[in-house]
Structure 1
Amino acid sequence: MDRETLAARIDHTVLGPTTTRADVLSVVDDAEAHGMNVCIPPCYVADARDHASDDRTIATVIGFPHGTQATSVKVAAAERAHADGADELDLVIPIGRLKGGDHEAVSAEIAAVNDATPLPVKVIIETPVLTDAEKHAACEAAADADAAMVKTATGFTDGGATVPDVSLMSEYLPVKASGGVGTYADAAAMFDAGAVRIGASSGVDIVASFAE
């Protein structure tokens, strides 16, 4: 893997509750300079699209960070994100429904969001709060709903991406490893475990620590 290939597999991220428009535009500038994608709050998608080059991939989040919105709200958010210029959607599942055993409702919601737009959907399953059995169930629900990827975590619970979780998830769909990935060594471990994408607020540090 060369530096350009690595950068193209990183979603440089800013999603905190105090994120400003200036923060988002700065992340876009960093992504432009290093060849990364961006993942930003939905309220700034139109701003980012206006600021970014036409070929810069812009991902945004749906149901973030807890996944507790009604399905109809998530569908409407997906449609708005598409209209505003997003290229990809990172959807938080209704974690409580999964833990309550209502796996069909989880899959149905993913399918509803997936069907709402032509954009690829990465399903955030929030591995730090799930048992292994629940991780398998979440990945099965995402695969059944024809999601594009599964993603480890939001970064807003204790814990993040781990090698065992990425390995488990990669049995079902391509994996975006997110949460706690701060260096190229961290990213390389995730790639070796089966990840195809990294989500990180430290995208610049990951690229900078890469040694060809």
Structure 2
Amino acid sequence: MDRQTLAERIDHTVLGPETTPADVRRVLDEAAEYGMNACIPPCYVAEAAEYAPDVTLATVVGFPHGQHAPGVKAAEAETVWDEGADEVDVVLNVGRLRAGEDDAVREELAAVVAAVPIPVKVIVEATLLDESELRRACEAAVDADADFVKTSTGFADGGARVADVEVMSEYLPVKASGGVGNYERAKAMFDAGAERIGASSGVAIVESFEK
């Protein structure tokens, strides 16, 4: 992997509750400079798409807890696509999964996938799940025809873990997100099977890259 290829596999992220338009513009500028993608809050998608049309733009749906009504998630996905998003990261409803309501989980995800013609990543919040639950979450994502599974929102305790990525990569391409702050950590995720990294430390990851 060279530095350019690494950058193309990073979603440079700003999703905190205090995120301002200036924060989003900074992340977009950095993404453009380093050749990364960007992942930003949905409320800023329209202006971000206009500000940085050449940056691949991801945003989040049902964030951060996945407890929005299913129709709201689908409508939110459609809205951000209309406004210029290139990819959508939707949060799975962990409570319904824990309750054994796998059909409801799958149907909700499928509705989001059906609402947009762009890649959909399913955030499973892996640190909250045991292995059997994680596998069921990934199976729901597969059945819903999602494009990726993603480890974490960054708002639950813990973040991306090698063991979780190894399991998830058996099902779909993986976006490892949460606590990936340098190239060494990113490489561990890639070695475990991740295809993409989500991190607020995208610049640090690229700058710490060593061939």
Range into which the TM-score falls when normalised by the shorter chain: over 0.9
Unaligned runs of 5+ in 1: none
Determine the structure 1 residue equivalent to 2:192: 193
SS at match of 2:181: coil
Determine the structure 1 residue equivalent to 2:170: 171
1:204 deviation in Å? Answer: 0.2
1:186 deviation in Å? Answer: 0.3
1:141 deviation in Å? Answer: 0.3
1:119 deviation in Å? Answer: 1.1
1:65 deviation in Å? Answer: 0.3
Unaligned runs of 5+ in 2: none
1:47 deviation in Å? Answer: 1.1
> Superposed, which structure 2 residues align to 1:85-96 within 5 Å?
85-96=84-95
Determine the structure 1 residue equivalent to 2:74: 75
Determine the structure 2 residue equivalent to 1:36: 36
Determine the structure 2 residue equivalent to 1:26: 26
Distance in 2 of aligned mates of 1:181 and 1:166: 13
| Identical columns (%) | 64
Matched, 1:148 2:147: yes
Which aligned runs of 4 or more in structure 1 are off by greater than 6 angstroms?
none
Determine the structure 2 residue equivalent to 1:101: 100
Q: Deviations over 1:37-80 (max 9, x none)?
A: 0000000001111110x331000000000000000000110011
Q: Deviations over 1:76-118 (max 9, x none)?
A: 1001101110000000011100010001111111100000010
Tell whether the 8 Å contact from 2:98 to 2:133 is kept in structure 1 after alignment: yes
1:12 deviation in Å? Answer: 0.2
Distance in 1 of aligned mates of 2:37 and 2:161: 22
Q: Which TM-score applies when normalising by structure 1? A: 0.99
SS at match of 2:67: coil
SS at match of 2:44: helix
SS at match of 1:153: coil
Q: Deviations over 1:13-36 (max 9, x none)?
A: 000000000000000000000000
Distance in 1 of aligned mates of 2:18 and 2:60: 15
